[in-house]
Amino acid sequence: MFLSKKSAQASEVSKDGSSPDFAYMKPDSCYLDSACQTLRPQCVIDAEMEYYREYNACGGRVKYAWGSMVDDKVQQARKLLLQFSGKREKEYCVAFTLNTSYGINLVLHQLTTGAFSRIITSDREHNSVVLPSMTWAKRAGAERLILESADDGSVLYTPSQLERSIVLMQSVSNIDGRTTKNLQQLANDTHAQGGILLVDAAQGFGHDVEGLRDIDFDAAFGSGHKMYGPSIGFIVIKRSLLDRLDPFFIGGGTVSDVDLEKYSLLRSGDEAHAVLEVGLQNWGGILGLGAAVEWLNQQQPRKENEKALAETLFQGLRSHPRVRLLNHTASHVVSFHVDGIDSHQLALYLSQQEIMCRSGYFCCHSYLHHQMKLPPLLRVSLGLHATSAHIETFLSALTKILSAL
């Protein structure tokens, strides 16, 4: 639908894990920051460019042929994302947004006030969950509850704590790749107590969509830029939750009619998503995201390769006596600090050798800085573009730097 035959063939991976999908990368560039943004395969870039070059029209409004092409493709992208999430059109729909953070705020702050008594997160959340939960609780005059998480990634709670609650939680961590193990049980218990489950799936859609498919979430929020797509966000949301919104963030594209004093919103059937898509959308980005989902659906060999690379990386880091790893097990994302070296300085040394990884708290200040009282960390995150040469380059550069300091 979005990928040409040629691009599907280009996806084939050679034995060392490299492929023409990322042939635009300079050979000595070692990009290890995929938890922030994944690299875009050439076919995704092509799909977005094709829109700008060949049918640069607005969707949802125009009658000329370019507009119909956009509408068809946007519709296909919505269907693909729903299938990818393992959800049915009857129960869920897909809305496009700016990113995960924006989607969380958009839904949370338009929920009818008074319907929920508290908001619950875990102790390991990203700022894009922590901050909206704080502002929501303040606005609603409701309580905030922070659940402790166990080493295996499960959150600890008793069902009665969930009564009439909004549970807002990640499915996969951007610190160490841990999955929230008991998310499905949490969904069941939350629903039984009259609450809703909102999932921050910024990392989950790209790294554990299989796990997400089993979860009866009310809404899950994703970012195209963390799953090989353009910089765009999306929400997979239950139609029943859309009905419970009290929309005030509205404008062009969200209404069927407007009079001097009143308006009627598009809120049902094929157009239910419209209430979350205010104004013109990032059409090229949506089509690029469709291509990214198609591409991801074909990447089983690369996923296996990434797992093997994660193991090599984990073992390599574990063998350094000065490295203090946060991870208990191998993962596509690992965070650590090194005794006696500032992580920001270490990131700069690595960057001098074209090795790109992150330093700091990765927008998890509350957990890493204030609860764990850790110094700034270094984070290495793999992506499906990564090869064994990248891991060797990183590990040998780290060894050299550590032996010099």
Ligand X SMILES: Cc1ncc(COP(=O)(O)O)c(C=O)c1O
**Which residues in the 53-92 window bind ligand X by CB under 6 A?**
none
Helix, strand, or coil here: 274?
helix
Name the residue nearer to ligand X (CB basis): 43 or 363. 363
Backbone dihedral region for residue 253 (phi beyond 0: left; psi -120 to 50: alpha; all else: beta):
left
- Ranges assigned E (strand) in 201-285: 219-223, 233-238, 255-258, 263-265
100 binds ligand X (CB under 6 A): yes
Q: Which residue stretch of 79-87, 195-203, 210-218, 309-317 sits at the interface with ligand X (rule: CB under 6 A)?
A: 195-203
Part in contact with ligand X (CB under 6 A); list of ranges 11-19, 78-86, 95-103, 390-398: 95-103
| Closest residue by Cα to residue 123 from 161, 80, 169, 190 | 169
CA distances from 149 to 85, 301, 363 (A): 25, 32, 18
Which of 48, 189, 200, 218 touches ligand X by CB under 6 A? 200
For residues 20 to 49, the per-residue mask of contacts with ligand X, x marking binding by CB under 6 A and - elsewhere, is ---------------xx-------------
Nearest distance from residue 204's CB to ligand X, in Å? 8
The C-alpha atoms of residue 215 and residue 259 are separated, in whole angstroms, by 41
C-beta of 10 vs 333, nearer to ligand X? 333
Interaction pattern, residues 173-192, with ligand X; x per rule: CB under 6 A = -x------------------
Other Cβ atoms closer than 10 A to 368? 21
Q: Using CA atoms, how far apart are residues 210 and 72, in angstroms rounded to an integer? A: 27
Which one among 97, 133, 170, 180 touches ligand X, defined by CB under 6 A? 170
36 or 134: CB nearest ligand X: 36
Residue 332 as a binder of ligand X (CB under 6 A): the answer is: no
Q: Tell me the CA distances in angstroms from 94 to 139, 166, 199, 391, one per residue in order.
A: 27, 20, 14, 37
Residue 171 tokens read as 């499915």
Measured in whole angstroms, how far is the alpha carbon of residue 353 from the centre of its chain? Answer: 29
Q: Is residue 99 involved in binding ligand X (CB under 6 A)?
A: yes
Strands (E), 18-111: 30-31, 92-97
Written as six digits, the tokens of 42 are 């050439």
**Does 126 help bind ligand X (rule: CB under 6 A)?**
yes
User: What is the rounded radius of gyration, in angstroms, for the C-alpha atoms of the chain?
Assistant: 22
Question: In whole angstroms, how close is the CB of 221 to ligand X at the nearest point?
Answer: 8
Binding-residue total with ligand X (CB under 6 A) = 14
Q: How far apart are CA 98 and CA 282, in angstroms?
A: 9
Q: Which residues pair with 166 in a beta bridge?
A: 119, 196
Least CB distance to ligand X at residue 123 (A): 14
CB nearer to ligand X: pick between 101 and 359: 101
Minimum CB distance to ligand X smaller for 100 or for 299: 100
Minimum distance from CB of 217 to ligand X (Å)? 15
Q: Under rule CB under 6 A, which residues in 204-223 are in contact with ligand X? A: 223
Q: Cβ(77)–Cβ(230) under 8 Å?
A: no
Tokens 């496009």 correspond to 96
Q: Which two tokens stand for residue 117?
A: 């008594």
Site for ligand X in 226-255 (CB under 6 A): none
CB 193 within 8 A of CB 160: yes
**Site of tokens 């979430």:** 217
Angle in degrees, 0-180, between the axes of helices 100-108 and 127-140, rounded to the nearest 10 = 10
Q: Which is nearer to ligand X, 316 or 383 (CB)?
A: 383
| Closer residue to ligand X (CB): 135 or 256 | 135
Q: Could you say whether residue 128 binds ligand X (CB under 6 A)?
A: yes
Task: Enter the tokens of residue 118.
Answer: 């508290």
Of residues 202, 219, 241, 317, which one binds ligand X by CB under 6 A?
202
| Segment interacting with ligand X (CB under 6 A) among 131-139, 153-161, 200-208, 261-269 | 200-208
Nearest distance, CB of residue 81 and ligand X, angstroms: 16
Options 34, 101, 121, 331; binder of ligand X; rule CB under 6 A: 101
- Tokens 């009857």 belong to residue: 90
Q: Please, what is the minimum distance in Å from the beta carbon of residue 119 to ligand X?
A: 16
Binding residues vs ligand X (CB under 6 A)? 35-36, 99-101, 126, 128, 170, 174, 200, 202-203, 223, 363
